[in-house]
Structure 1
Amino acid sequence: MPRDVFRRRDTGSLAPTLSGRIGRFLRPDWARADTARRVTAGLLALLALVMLIRDGRGETGEPVVVAARDLTPGHVLAAEDVRTVDRARTEVPGAAVQDQEAAVGRTVSSPVRSGEILTDVRLLGPRLAEAAVGSSDARVVPVRLSDSGLAELIREGDRVDVLTVGRARDVDASQPTVATVLASGATVVLVASEHPSAGRRDPVVMLALPAPAASAVAAASLTDAITVTLH
């Protein structure tokens, strides 16, 4: 009888209970956890190495033209004004200038800080007119203002209306002068600095306009006084 009891007790101990199974599940397997940590650390190190190599390639693979010193609007770029450097691809803006020789001789359209990457909208050209007007059919037209003091109030990026002032035709000379709006919403892309040696002190303003309006303004500027009003 005692032997049967002992046998039943021994057999029962081999069958795991519910609490025993839960305890075994919750008990950590230290060897397996240590291996998992080592594998994870290795994968993270490999990922960091891949990112480092990728960033290194980006920094040396994208040559761009930058300003060698501070530049002012209206300045014509010379060879000593620009230099070529390598920048990471993530730092290079769209339409960045990458040919240093092509940049020389271009006119700066807005202030540029030393080390700043030159782009197409920083230089006078078709892309600047397109960006200013928002249309591929855009032109930049120079306008010589009749009021020299007005140019001191205008800055690059201002929106203006272009007017011509003259006496009404087909009426007598006693009639007052009348203003005709030649173009509305023109964008100022450059206010040219005065050059006393040029013999004329009337300031020149470069305006971006759609092609038809630019042609009308250019034609009127040959014979009539031109002024602008600011928005």
Structure 2
Amino acid sequence: MSRNPARNRVTRAHRSLGPSWFDRLSDLTHPSWARTLVARRVAAAGLACLAVALGLRGDPDSAHSPVVVAVRDLQPGRILVDTDLEVRQLEVRSLPDGAVTALSDVSGRTLASPARAGETLTDVRVLGPRLAATAAGIEDARIVPVRLADPAVAELLREGDRVDVLTVDSDTPAHSGRPQNATVLASDAVVVLVTPSGNGRDQRDRVVMLALPATEATTVAAASLTNAITVTFQ
């Protein structure tokens, strides 16, 4: 270390007026305390701006969507009206597949299964193409309503049951003493709805909704106009 203060001052002045490459490199690798403080402040300001930007953007996983929910407990077989439903904003990541987003998509439709108050409705909770396809397991499916020859059988049926649909030859009277020939109209039909009893309704008026491939659904619907229909459980 030089013991001549005057010479040191001259050397520092010379470096400030005409710094060499070595001097510049030395300044970069050994920044002054003031320069380090400024750099830290700039970095802190940048991080603060980034945090604000992320806060304004929001978490993409918490995006919301309008969905239709039941406002009260609803029974299957009910024809939905607007007062049964309301639209709420719920997190997208919490919604089930097929969640209904507009009242017009379900208002006036028949509810196929019970719904609790606050429950999100989906496209398979009401009678329609999506329910038929999902229940039957094929895209080309239909829902056909039938009244059973023995209304008591309807009491035993539950949504999701698989049954075979049968009829008998209408040319053979039931009390003729001759055996009636049974014809299987459809196999592996899926029960999607049994209209509820009660409220003074005649048991003979109860309707069973079956999901079937389109061709078999047509056959069953035509036969039900003239022949007695029954089902056998699988």
Q: Same fold (TM over 0.5)?
A: yes
Question: Retained in 2: the 8 A contact 1:143–1:205?
Answer: yes
Q: 1:58 to 1:103 in 2, by over 3 A?
A: same
Q: How far apart, in 1, do the equivalents of 2:228 and 2:62 lie?
A: 57
Question: Retained in 1: the 8 A contact 2:170–2:227?
Answer: no
Q: How far apart, in 2, do the equivalents of 1:184 and 1:78 lie?
A: 35
- SS of 1:122's equivalent in the other structure is coil
Q: How far apart, in 2, do the equivalents of 1:167 and 1:184 lie?
A: 20
Percent identity of the aligned residues? Answer: 52
For 2:163, the aligned partner's letter is V
Question: Retained in 1: the 8 A contact 2:62–2:92?
Answer: no
Q: How far apart, in 2, do the equivalents of 1:96 and 1:110 lie?
A: 15
> What does residue range 85-100 of structure 1 map to in structure 2 within 5 Å?
85-100=88-103
Structure 1 residue runs without a partner (length 5+): 1-38
Q: CA deviation at 1:201?
A: 2.6
Q: CA deviation at 1:167?
A: 5.8
Answering whether residue 211 of structure 2 is matched by residue 208 of structure 1, we say yes
- SS of 2:163's equivalent in the other structure is strand
Question: Retained in 2: the 8 A contact 1:167–1:178?
Answer: no
Q: Tell me the number of residue pairs that the alignment of Structure 1 and Structure 2 aligns.
A: 187
Q: CA deviation at 1:101?
A: 2.8
> Counterpart of 2:140?
137
Question: Retained in 2: the 8 A contact 1:165–1:179?
Answer: yes
> Counterpart of 1:128?
131
Question: Retained in 1: the 8 A contact 2:147–2:204?
Answer: no
Q: 1:162 to 1:97 in 2, by over 3 A?
A: same
Deviating more after overlay: 66-75 vs 94-103: 94-103
> Counterpart of 1:12?
none
Answering whether residue 25 of structure 2 is matched by residue 53 of structure 1, we say no
Q: CA deviation at 1:202?
A: 3.5
Q: 1:65 to 1:162 in 2, by over 3 A?
A: same
> Counterpart of 1:179?
182
Q: 1:177 to 1:55 in 2, by over 3 A?
A: same
The ranges of structure 1 where at least 4 consecutive aligned residues each deviate by more than 6 angstroms after the TM superposition are 195-200
Q: How far apart, in 2, do the equivalents of 1:137 and 1:198 lie?
A: 33
Q: CA deviation at 1:56?
A: 7.9
Question: Retained in 2: the 8 A contact 1:156–1:190?
Answer: yes
Q: How far apart, in 2, do the equivalents of 1:157 and 1:200 lie?
A: 21
Q: How far apart, in 1, do the equivalents of 2:62 and 2:233 lie?
A: 48
Q: CA deviation at 1:193?
A: 2.4
Q: CA deviation at 1:230?
A: 1.4
> Counterpart of 2:79?
76
Structure 2 residue runs without a partner (length 5+): 1-43
Q: CA RMSD in A?
A: 2.9
- For residues 82-117 of structure 1, the C-alpha deviation after alignment (integer angstroms, 9 at most, x for no partner) is 000011111112221111133211110011111111
- For residues 14-64 of structure 1, the C-alpha deviation after alignment (integer angstroms, 9 at most, x for no partner) is xxxxxxxxxxxxxxxxxxxxxxxxx9xx8xx96xx66x92168513xx000
Q: CA deviation at 1:178?
A: 2.4
The normalised TM-score by structure 1 is: 0.71
- SS of 1:113's equivalent in the other structure is coil
The normalised TM-score by structure 2 is: 0.70
